[in-house]
Each structure stands twice: as C-alpha cells, then as structure tokens.
C-alpha cells in the first residue's frame, strides 16, 4: 500500500520506510554485537510486531530462531489495563535461552511489563527488549528497554504492523490518521 492510496485517511507520515529500514539496520548491528557467539531466540508479539520481526530478523547476522506470542489486554475501551490473557503461548521452552522480545510499540508499558514478568519466570539465560516505537509521555511503568527505534509523541499511530480496527497494518510507513477516520 502506497502513501497515495491512503487518500484522505492519512493525516501525516511520521516515519518513512527508508527511516525504518536504516534504523533497523543500526539496531541489528548493536544486537549482533550483543549476542555474538550465542544462540538467540527472538519472540514476536502478535500481531503488531510481524513487520518489525520480519525486517529486523533479515537485518541480523546472528542466527536466530523465532517464536510468537499472542496476548490480549483486558481493559475498558482502548486503554491497556495491564491485566493480560495469553491467546497463544510460545511453542518453545525458553529456560536457559537468550531471549529477545520484539515489540512494535510501547505505550503505557503495562502489557510489556506483564510479559517481562511472565517470560522472566521461565528462567531464560537473558531477557531483553527491542521495540520499534516508544511513547515516553505515555509511560505508566518504568521498563528497561535495551533497544528503541524511535521515540514518538503521544499520538495514535498506524502502519508497519500497527492497526486501527485491524486496518492499516500493511502500510510500509508509520503515520497518524485523519480525525474523520475515528468518526470525528
Ligand atoms: P501498552 O500496554 O504499552 O499501553 O500497550 C501496548 C499495545 O497497545 C501495543 O502493542 C499496541 O497493540 C497498542 N497500542 C499502543 N499505542 C498504539 C498506537 O499508537 N497505535 C496502535 N495502532 N496501537 C497502539
Ligand atoms: Mg505490541
Ligand atoms: Mg491494535
């Protein structure tokens, strides 16, 4: 899907495909340096992290295995509550493995903080996080995130895996939506 095809739905492109590609290449270099000589399991959180998993994994020189989790946050409306249910658990046992969680976006941080505690209790050899996007102004919990692609303003974004009502995930860039899309 190209920018022109978005028509009136798009308000603004925040991060272009080129910017995403070059930032992922930088992060991949740092991640390769961190895991040199080690086996790495990357864990993607469905569905939002699909694009960043696919592109980051291909930018890495480190041989990786990949696994996926699907979780849902309970909460009123669109706010994450931090109360999380596992919809799909990992296929693999992560005990004594080096695990890197790959996230699309950290907003309040509540979902990720739950995930860290959950995976941490399975006794991995190490547990780190890489996220493409982070909203520092929305943080409700302090999380030690080792690699961040971009810090962005506290606005609702779509594209590159991120949806609004399951749409826009296949945009190759990250952008904001026009108010009319939300019914405004
Ligand atoms: P948190 O628990 O950090 O508040 O919520 C993280 C999850 O909320 C993300 O994985 C994502 O599914 C969703 N989310 C948070 N901010 C945005 C946003 O700006 N756009 C979209 N599409 N989803 C978001
Ligand atoms: Mg996510
Ligand atoms: Mg969503």
| Domain annotation for the chain: domains and CATH numbers | 17-152 (3.40.50.2020)
Q: Which ligand is nearest to the CA of 165?
A: 3
pLDDT for position 106: 95
Mean pLDDT, residues 149-173 taken together = 95
Q: Residue 35 C-alpha to ligand 3 middle, in angstroms?
A: 30
**φ, ψ (nearest 5 deg) of residue 177:** -95, 150
Q: Is the ipTM of this complex over 0.90?
A: yes
Which among 49, 101, 105 is the best mutation to test ligand 1's pocket, defined by most ligand atoms within 8 Å of the CB? 105
Task: Return the pLDDT at 72.
Answer: 87
Sheet of 98-106, strand order:
83-88, 64-74, 40-46, 98-106, 126-134, 147-151
Residues 79 and 126: their CA atoms lie apart, in Å, by 30
**Is any ligand 1 atom within 6 A of the Cβ of residue 19?**
no
Q: What is the tens place of the pLDDT at every residue in 13-64?
A: 999 999 999 999 999 999 999 999 999 999 999 999 999 999 999 999 999 9
Average pLDDT over residues 134-154: 94
Confirm or reject: Cβ of 176 under 6 Å from ligand 1: no
Q: Whose CA is nearest to atom 12 of ligand 1?
A: 48
- Any atom of ligand 1 within 6 Å of the Cβ of 131: no
Q: How many Å apart are CA 76 and CA 112, to the nearest integer?
A: 18
CB of 157 within 6 A of ligand 1: the answer is yes
Ligand 1 centre to CA of 106 (Å) is 6
| Nearest Cα to Cα of residue 89 among 69, 114, 117, 112 | 69
Q: Is the CB of 64 under 6 A from ligand 1?
A: no
Mutational test site, ligand 1, from 46, 77, 80, max ligand atoms within 8 Å of CB: 80
Ligand found nearest the CA of 162:
1
Q: Is the pLDDT of residue 105 over 60?
A: yes
Judge residue 32's burial from the number of C-beta atoms within 10 Å of its C-beta, 0-12 exposed, 13-18 middle, 19 or more buried: middle
Mean pLDDT of 85-100: 97
């Amino acid at each position: 899907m190209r920018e022109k095809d978005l028509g009136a739905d798009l308000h603004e492109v925040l991060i272009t495909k080129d910017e995403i590609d070059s930032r992922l290449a930088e992060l991949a270099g740092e991640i390769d340096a961190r895991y040199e000589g080690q086996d790495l399991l990357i864990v993607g959180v469905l569905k939002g992290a699909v694009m960043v998993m696919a592109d980051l994994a291909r930018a890495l020189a480190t041989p990786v295995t990949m696994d996926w989790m699907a979780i849902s946050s309970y909460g009123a409306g669109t706010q994450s509550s931090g109360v999380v249910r596992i919809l799909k658990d990992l296929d693999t046992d992560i005990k004594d493995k080096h695990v890197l969680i790959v996230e699309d976006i950290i907003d309040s941080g509540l979902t990720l903080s739950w995930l860290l505690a959950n995976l941490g209790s399975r006794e991995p050899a190490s547990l780190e996080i890489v996220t493409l996007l982070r909203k520092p102004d929305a943080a409700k919990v302090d999380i030690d995130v080792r690699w961040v692609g971009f810090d962005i303003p506290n606005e609702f974004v779509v594209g590159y895996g991120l949806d609004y009502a399951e749409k826009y995930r296949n945009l190759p860039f990250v952008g904001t939506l026009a108010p009319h899309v939300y019914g405004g």
